[in-house]
A and B are shown apart, each in its own frame.
Chain A
Amino acid sequence: GAVVSQHPSWVICKSGTSVKIECRSLDFQATTMFWYRQFPKQSLMLMATSNEGSKATYEQGVEKDKFLINHASLTLSTLTVTSAHPEDSSFYICSARGHRGQPQHFGDGTRLSIL
């Protein structure tokens, strides 16, 4: 089946640091990638959608300058949390999809803790 690799799985860093999370589709070309945030015991909240070679489309309320998304190739998207603060601590999950009609496949998520 389709595999999406997300790294790192857990990161702890100091307030003010920028953190980059990578999302790779290992065995298929990801036309579209999605970034979600999940708070404890809650559902996934879509942050942004990115198509290869295009600027990401952010959901309402998501700060573009805080959460930088790059989708430079059909197999890699990155999420950079800039100048992270404790309130940015959360579980971030990426997913990738090939062509229309195909299901989304999820990475294993990244637990981000900002001290």
Chain B
Amino acid sequence: AQTVTQSQPEMSVQEAETVTLSCTYDTSESDYYLFWYKQPPSRQMILVIRQEAYKQQNATENRFSVNFQKAAKSFSLKISDSQLGDAAMYFCAYRSGSAASKLTFGTGTRLQVTL
């Protein structure tokens, strides 16, 4: 079974600074997808960024980018120019490439953004 590990329960970053959230996963599959979801206090799950395993290029969405290291099974999220609105729980998630696949979530990292 696939597992997703987020080793940082809490992180803090100053506004305008950069922070990196860690995520590692374990799988024997070659076809899969990786995601980062954001859950603010409203508890809505918001897709931040996704990465297809077959793509070598790291995904980027505005201030959010990932460092995808397939051999190391690492998928970290970098948030640049942090804003107060970035404060939230961040969940890393894995999904197999098979048709009936489901998301496997990590335990989450709570990000605080300070002035």
- Which A residues fall within an 8 A CB radius of B? 32, 34, 38, 42-44, 46, 49, 51, 91, 93, 95, 100-101, 103-106, 108-109
Contact = CB atoms under 8 A, between A and B. Distances in A.
Q: Pick from B42, B91, B97, B101 the residue with the most CB of A within 10 Å.
A: B101
A43 B107 contact: yes
Given A106-B45, A109-B44, 17 more contacts: A32-B100, A34-B102, A38-B43, A42-B107, A43-B91, A43-B105, A43-B106, A43-B107, A43-B108, A44-B91, A44-B105, A49-B100, A49-B102, A100-B97, A100-B101, A104-B47, A105-B47
Interface string B85-101: 00000010001011111
Interface residues of B, number: 23
Contacts of B98: 100
A91 B45 CA distance: 12
B11 interface: no
Contacts of B50: 103
A contact patch SS: strand
A106 B97 CA distance: 19
B102 to A, nearest CB: 6
A80 to B, nearest CB: 21
Contacts of A42: 107-108
A32 B99 CA distance: 10
